[in-house]
Structure 1
Amino acid sequence: MKYLMVLVIVLVGLWFWRNNRRAALRERQSRHATARPDASPAQAATEMVACAVCSVHLPRPDALPGHRGIYCSDAHRRQAEG
């Protein structure tokens, strides 16, 4: 009988612990969701482009334009354009 009581107490404790964790997670998610619309311009999405030689994706401002495409480095631009 005493083992049954210990088991019930442990299960009730686990139930309270899980509910508190879920509530905290929901609160964190709601705070995060409300913070997203106020994102700074530095976090704005940038367009990603692929290198014509190696197909690596990189932000457009970091890419090097060439006559035959967009490249990730000057070496790839020289390799593709001769």
Structure 2
Amino acid sequence: MFTVEDIQGINEIFKDLGMMVHEQGEMIDSIEANVENAEVHVQQANQQLATAAEYQRKSRRKICIIIAVLVVAATVIGLIIWGTVK
């Protein structure tokens, strides 16, 4: 049979267990909130990476156009100088 002290000890254990579950529940809620925030940040990062890739593509295109214009201008200037020297 159980004595009164045994039952009180078991009662104390259950109280401690209940408190630990409550405290860990708060931690789990905090972890869940952090995971949700991480998900939002990852989505925002993906959008920013897509925007950065688009800017990089446009930048390369502009650089190619500028180089082509400079080559044409250098060719025209070279032909003008070559024509005046002859």
TM-score range, shorter chain: 0.3 to 0.5
More helix by share: 2
Which structure exhibits the higher relative contact order, with contacts defined as CA atoms closer than 8 Å and separated by 6 or more residues?
1
TM-score under structure 1 normalisation?
0.47
TM (norm. structure 2) is: 0.45
Bigger radius of gyration among the two: 2
